[in-house]
Amino acid sequence: MTLLQSDKNMPDINNYWLVDDKNWLAQRKASWDALKATIKHHYSDDFKSKTLKAAERYFIRGEVIADDYDEPLIDWFFQIAWHPSDDEQVWLAWLLQSCRQFDPKVLSSFWTTTFFNTAIIRPEKSDVGNSLFVGREQHLVSFLFENEQLEEKLTGYALGELRKQIILKLIKDAADLIKKFSLGLPAPENGSCYFASLPVHALSHAHNIYSSTLYLEAQKKNWRYWQIQLDTNAEVYANLQRYTAQQQQVVETWVAQIEQSAPEWQAAWREAKKAALALAESVTESAAESDSAAIAEVAVAEIPPQRKAGKPSADDLKIQALKTRLMGMGCPASVQAVDNTYPDVLEAAAAGKTFFPLTSINENDGDVEPPYTNMLQPLRLLCEWRGGHEVSYRCKNDKVLILLDGEPFAKVDLTDEFDIGVLRFAADVVALAQQWFTGQVFCSLRSVYILPADLVQHLEQDFADINDGLDYYAKQLAEESE
């Protein structure tokens, strides 16, 4: 890139790649080798050969390579994250030059967001880091959220009002996407929080997005999505003891944010939290009232050595009793070896015959283009287990008609992430499972398991607290249709 002479107030962005300085070049190549190892270990599917070569050219020499459609192969956010300078004025000047070299519309897609909450979840190797942004996460969040003089700085440049507004929108859209990512918490079975990623660094801004305006929009269009999120986060909060100290800190930070949000969100959160705490308490009381002596005898024998030193929780005892019952009913031996969580135990008992009916429709899932893998997976799994049936689809004008044995089964609008057709598809898949596997279907924590009929009866009778009911998705559909 070359600075225009009219940009008198702008820092010179071309003096940072010192490619003629052997020492600088050697250090820069060493930094690239470390980043390349991170990319190959964590993101090999996302950085194909052509993109990786473009990243190397930019990182070492500052050259931005375009594809055949004149779009930069390296996203603008990576460009400032990987720039040799950590001066925000230089980052801003670089972004301005990007908008002169490329059509701003192709810069606004901000595909970097697909990586925000994955870097830290994937396990590190001893010689590989997991920061895609070379440790600049907090600085980048500051640039996006806390740059109070941004508009003033832009006004000082010879940009014109239209170009200034384009730059402001690019940065605002990026900040809004990061805020959206920071609203959710991982479910307990996921076992990780995205500690070092951008959303966690942006958590202090989360209360702003939970506004009265957003609440009204959610009530009108997609309250189901937000209610599931609140319920899941409340479940995390109610079982905080399952987390490490670092994970607990992330959860408590999020809770502090929701409790500073708009009154409507605070009220919704209080209801979700109340229900989750009551459920956790009822499980504890139920286990305490059971035959604790018999359960404890089995639990002490089976709990891993590291847990014997402490007193097993009531939840552990109840799950261990379930494991013992399952073994007595001829379930696979793998049941005893899995972690003490209901999803893990039920999946082992089902020998893998489990699915989550409600799939999301978004670009990150790859469901907006054929072959719609995630969206069709629940139905395809049922057909595989049943045998003798085939799933196909037809697509027209971004609407997918899902076919079962050549006959229409469901229709989904791909332009709407919260299309009610997705929920109807989920309810129909569960109904089909009941038809094909009569008496063997159990719905728990929004997942469906195909189990022996006598085990389903046992779960319905003695584990009502984890039983969603076979009509769970049908009820959700009825509420959403009102």
Cβ atoms of 172 and 145 within 8 Å: the answer is no
Name the token pair of 263. Answer: 């009154």
Name the token pair of 10. Answer: 């702008």
Beta bridge partners of 393: 402
Instruction: Please tell me the distance from the alpha carbon of residue 64 to that of residue 54, in angstroms, as a whole number.
Output: 7
pLDDT by residue for the chain (482 residues), tens digit each? 433 334 555 667 778 899 999 999 999 999 999 999 888 877 776 677 888 899 999 999 999 888 877 778 888 888 888 999 998 888 888 887 877 777 666 565 544 444 444 444 444 555 667 677 888 888 888 887 766 666 666 665 555 666 667 667 777 766 666 665 555 554 444 434 444 456 667 777 777 778 898 888 888 876 877 787 788 788 888 888 877 676 777 788 888 888 998 999 999 999 989 988 888 887 666 655 554 544 455 445 444 444 444 455 666 777 887 887 777 777 767 777 777 778 888 888 888 888 888 765 544 444 556 667 777 888 989 999 988 888 888 877 667 888 898 888 888 776 655 567 778 888 899 999 999 999 999 998 788 999 888 889 888 888 887 888 888 888 877 877 66
Name the token pair of 285. Answer: 């009381």
Phi, psi of 401 (to 5 degrees): -100, 115
Closest residue by Cα to residue 78 from 102, 101, 112: 112
Where does 191-251 show beta strands of DSSP type E?
none
What 8-state DSSP symbol labels residue 65?
A: -
H or E stretch covering 344: helix 342-349
Question: Is 122 in a helix, a strand, or coil?
Answer: coil
Instruction: Please tell me the distance from the alpha carbon of residue 179 to that of residue 200, in angstroms, as a whole number.
Output: 9
Cβ atoms of 193 and 182 within 8 Å: the answer is no
User: Please, is 152 exposed, middle or buried when counting C-beta atoms within 10 Å of its C-beta (0-12, 13-18, 19+)?
Assistant: exposed
Is the pTM for the entire model greater than 0.85? Answer: no
Cβ atoms of 49 and 39 within 8 Å: the answer is no
What count of Cα atoms within 13 Å lies in the side-chain half-sphere of residue 357?
31
User: Please, is 278 exposed, middle or buried when counting C-beta atoms within 10 Å of its C-beta (0-12, 13-18, 19+)?
Assistant: exposed
Instruction: Please tell me the distance from the alpha carbon of residue 298 to that of residue 345, in angstroms, as a whole number.
Output: 16
